[in-house]
Amino acid sequence: MRDGGRLAAAIEVLEDIEARHKPARLALKAWGDSARYAGSKDRAFVSGLVLDVLRKRRSLGWRMGADTPRATALGVLRFGWGWPLERIAEAAGEAPHGIGALTEAEIAALTAPRPLDDAPAAVAGDYPDWAEAALARVFGDDRAGEGAALSERAPVDLRANRLKTDPERAAKALAPLRAEPAGLLPDAFRIPAPAATERTGAVETIPAFGKGWFEVQDLGSQLAAAVAGEVKGRQVLDFCSGGGGKTLALAAAMGATGQLYAHDSDARRMADVIPRATRAGVRNLQVRSPVEAEPLKGLEGKMDVVFVDAPCTGAGTWRRHPDAKWRLTPDQFQRRQAEQDAVLDQAAPYVKTGGRLIYVTCSIFAEENEDRVAAFLDRHPQFAARPVTLEPVLHRVTSQGYLRLTPRTAATDGFFAAILERTA
């Protein structure tokens, strides 16, 4: 495909997303299924352009003077990818697959775009208007900058698995992918975000991956798991294990000692836990599936650590799932908070006296974080908040003692973590 056809395809996908409120992943798959002629570079181009538009749809629309898929796609080519006007004009006017010659208004906007200096924070930060009050509450005058950081492309982070290797050997195995130490944690590595039209090297193709030497896991997620503290020899329950990312991080920290339990309310989300644990060499794991009548029977009041990676809006992962911020609604925002209260109440009985309940979300909203902790402590006076003392991120601990990470302040996905100790 030539540039004109690729541009037209990206706009077609964006229009499909807009008209059908379809997740970007599904819209891109539908286009790919119908475009068998498209090669891997064509697919990378179309996917990269679509996702970059979704990341910065509002600021692009402001600069272009129009927020249509056509206008914002052209804006990405000029302001994001640095294409000269001549190349954009050539691609647009390509026959027979181009999108049609640039208009005078488009040429003017691409040449002298409207500056963002006087744009509202929600436009400059590329987030929905309804989220303005919630983000202002957390970030104040920095909310536009925080939103802009959540609109950039994300790197690929990996965690070396201490059950199978060490950071030195992992670094050598990851060298072909240009992975470097990510900082903050010795086991964390980072592959820089690729150019929009390129794909990150396939981690799964490295032989060491098949051996279980490392896992793909954002540094923020690794840090959130580390908030659990010393877990060697302990009884640990991952209450919302999902696919097992943090389960495996906890297992590595336990070093094949103690007992680790994985549970989730949805058995389908747990489908990958056992295969991933087997590949990672985890031997102290019990999977407690909800398909059992009483999956957690016998664990009440016996856990040293109950880890709750709660269901949330996922606002901290908008770099990776940019369409999610436009599909999220105030009603969904409220429902998530009710779900978080429920899951905390369900997890609390398994914590023994002196044990810790670790509450984690990949959200940046106080309504899902501090407010949920405060509400939980009101309902459960036998628990008390304890400050996060994880040395590498002490400068990211809030005045209340909670951990808050964002792309702007920590170069990670957005995460929140709180330690709640059972005192009676």
So which residues are the catalytic ones?
362
Contact between 243 and 270 under an 8 Å Cβ cutoff? The reply is yes
Q: ω before 96 within 30° of 0 (cis)?
A: yes
| Helix, coil or strand: residue 229 | coil
Residue 33 is assigned to a ligand binding site: no
Question: Side chain identity at 115, as an amino acid letter?
Answer: P
Q: Which residues of 16-44 are buried (b: 16+ CB within 10 A; e: fewer)?
A: bbeeeebebeebbeebbeebeebeeebbb
Angstrom distance (rounded) from CA 389 to CA 401 = 8
Q: Which residues of 46-61 are buried (b: 16+ CB within 10 A; e: fewer)?
A: bbbbbbbbbbbbbbbb
Taking residue 275's Cβ as centre, other Cβ atoms within 10 Å add up to: 10
CA distances from 18 to 37, 69, 416 (A): 25, 9, 31
Angstrom distance (rounded) from CA 325 to CA 400 = 27
Strand boundaries in 213-316, DSSP class E: 214-216, 235-238, 259-263, 285-288, 303-309
Residue 118 is assigned to a ligand binding site: no
Q: What is the DSSP letter of 77?
A: I
Name the one residue in this structure whose structure tokens are 């908030």: 227
Q: And the tokens for 253?
A: 């920290």
* Overall residue count recorded for the chain in this entry: 424
Contact between 320 and 377 under an 8 Å Cβ cutoff? The reply is no
* Binding site members: 264, 309
* Binding site members for S-adenosyl-L-methionine: 264, 309
